[in-house]
Structure 1
Amino acid sequence: MDINAYIQSGILELYVAGSLSEEENKDVHAMMKKHPEVLQEVLDIEAAVIKLTSATAPKRKHTILENIQKTLGFDADVKVIFISKYNWVTYAGWAASVVFATGLFWMVNQNNQLQSDIEVAKSSQTLLETQIANSKNSLKEANTLVSVLRDDAIAKIPLAGQGNFANTYAKVYWDKQAQRIFLDAQGLPEPPEGKVYQVWSLKMSPLTPTSLGTIDNFATDANKIFEIANNNDSEAFGITLEPAGGSESPTMEFLYTLGVVS
């Protein structure tokens, strides 16, 4: 439908005047809901009518009456009853309803927008707090690693690649006093899906492996340095690739790196 042609048809003026049938009023009301420009036109017409009637009616009512009486030849004592062509009470009710509905629609939209802005602000604040916390944790970890690297009492054990994995490597920093190691696994590739790296403490004679656990967050850790508890009297360290969840003993054909404590 050509909305401009609809607006120019004059039906909106008749709607404002209250001279349409109930069915026609429903049609116009539906068009106002569907097309904002139709609603705006109705509001403009109503504003113009209100402005016109308020400007002329109070000041000229008596003059108009006198002119009509004079033209028709009535005496001044004859009472003239004016019957309005349009039902202005109905019109006023429709106008009030339209204005109220428009205002209510605007208020609902504003409230929804405000709620949306509040949720975005909350999300942004939560994200910022998380980033700050992560930064603090990262700084603490960095300071810890620096102190480990600079401590001469910390044993440094390079782990060389083995067999088919000769191009891999890792390094263990063993803090015996704190009974922990820091494993630098930057030289290991990301494990296949369903597999994890498992770290072993080894006694060499006889060969006795003790699991130090699996590295479950290898893929998501950015610096690939992992702190692992170790209260064993280790003589070597090794890393194998195992099924998710780890194994009770190392799978030697998937021994990636091995290093002996000097």
Structure 2
Amino acid sequence: MNINDYINSGILELYVAGQLSETESKEVYDLMLKHPEVLKEVLEIEAAIVKLTASVSPKKDISFNTIKGRLNNNSTSGKVISLNRSKTKWINYSGWAAAVVLAGGLIWTINMKSTLENQIQTVTTEKDFLEIQMETSKTDLAETKNLLNIIRDKSIINIPLEGQAAAPGAYANVYWDKKDDTVYLDLKGLPEPPEGKEYQVWSLTLNPLTPTSLGTINDFIQDDNKIFKLKNANQSQAFGITLEPAGGSPTPTMEQLYTLGVLASL
């Protein structure tokens, strides 16, 4: 799923408006927990609604003279209604004006109630957002410490990958843990792939030259750290990264070979 396309689809506005089904709302909620940018967008939508609600609420009390003036201006004669009219008619006009005032007051009260509820909901959501961020930070810190411990382990094999003709300035690092058949990829030195393309990682044996796909990196753009973990049970002698169509290719496109590195012991 392209998370930016999802954000721009309009579904988050429907979520905030309460127009989604229970299943659709749960999907949005799960994505908010997984992707901070989705949660941030929901918060911004709610804040915009609060501002809009506040902007259309009355800024001052409606005076009786203002209402009476409008009633007078709407009379068929175009003249001011004098106080010496019949008591019945004056009561009617007074009742009408009171009804207008009451209606205006009710509208203002409803708007203020809606604004207050939105503000409370925004504060609650922001509190949840901060709590999620704190938990995410704790998780990220733990994962970072674990990753540092892994790559500093003397048994881990480090293979630097240098840029090739398709991207001379590119670079990457592979950290291979042969004990559990895992490779950790530091791809910070790769440019952002164009739309419809993904990086594909290859394990290579050199004699004869045999590439084996370890998989594609389909969340490269969304991952800020650019650290990825893949399984590798092969007797690898080198690693390469190519740029392929989304979903990967059965064999590497050599014209799109971005980085390549050979184990130092060879």
Structure 1 residue 240, shift from structure 2 partner: 1.0
1:181-220 equivalences in 2 (<5 Å): 181-220=183-222
| Structure 1 residues 108 and 159: alpha-carbon distance in aligned structure 2, compared to 1, 3 A threshold | same
The number of residues matched between the two structures is 190
Structure 1 residue 42, shift from structure 2 partner: 6.0
- Pick aligned residue for 1:161 from 160, 163, 167: 163
Structure 1 residue 175, shift from structure 2 partner: 1.2
Structure 1 residue 128, shift from structure 2 partner: 2.1
Once residues 219 and 188 of structure 1 are traced to their aligned partners in structure 2, the CA distance between those partners, rounded to angstroms, is 11
Residue 231 in structure 1 maps to residue 233 in structure 2: yes
In the alignment, what sits opposite 1:139?
Answer: 141
Residue 41 in structure 1 maps to residue 65 in structure 2: yes
In the alignment, what sits opposite 1:180?
Answer: 182
Structure 1 residue 125, shift from structure 2 partner: 3.0
Provide structure 1 residue ranges, at least 5 long, that are not aligned to the other structure: 1-33, 46-83
1:1-262 equivalences in 2 (<5 Å): 39-41=63-65, 86-87=87-88, 90=92, 93-94=95-96, 96-261=98-263, 262=265
Structure 2 letter corresponding to 1:123: T
Once residues 61 and 126 of structure 2 are traced to their aligned partners in structure 1, the CA distance between those partners, rounded to angstroms, is 37
| Structure 1 residues 190 and 38: alpha-carbon distance in aligned structure 2, compared to 1, 3 A threshold | closer
Structure 1 residue 98, shift from structure 2 partner: 4.4
| Structure 1 residues 94 and 139: alpha-carbon distance in aligned structure 2, compared to 1, 3 A threshold | same
TM-score, length-scaled by structure 1: 0.63
Structure 2 letter corresponding to 1:147: N
Structure 1 residue 162, shift from structure 2 partner: 2.4
Provide structure 2 residue ranges, at least 5 long, that are not aligned to the other structure: 1-57, 70-84
Listed one character per residue, the Cα deviations across residues 209-236 of structure 1 (whole Å, up to 9, x for unaligned) are 1111111122222222111122222221
Structure 2 letter corresponding to 1:41: N
Listed one character per residue, the Cα deviations across residues 184-221 of structure 1 (whole Å, up to 9, x for unaligned) are 11222222222211001112222221111111122222
The alignment yields a C-alpha RMSD, in angstroms, of: 2.9
Structure 1 letter corresponding to 2:247: G
> Percent sequence identity over matched residues?
51
Structure 1 residue 85, shift from structure 2 partner: 5.6
Once residues 162 and 94 of structure 1 are traced to their aligned partners in structure 2, the CA distance between those partners, rounded to angstroms, is 82
Structure 1 residue 251, shift from structure 2 partner: 1.1
| Structure 1 residues 117 and 165: alpha-carbon distance in aligned structure 2, compared to 1, 3 A threshold | closer
| Structure 1 residues 96 and 165: alpha-carbon distance in aligned structure 2, compared to 1, 3 A threshold | closer
Structure 2 letter corresponding to 1:234: S
Once residues 201 and 172 of structure 2 are traced to their aligned partners in structure 1, the CA distance between those partners, rounded to angstroms, is 11
Structure 1 residue 106, shift from structure 2 partner: 3.0
Once residues 125 and 37 of structure 1 are traced to their aligned partners in structure 2, the CA distance between those partners, rounded to angstroms, is 34
Structure 1 residue 171, shift from structure 2 partner: 0.8
Contact 2:68 2:97 in 1 (8 A): no
TM-score, length-scaled by structure 2: 0.62
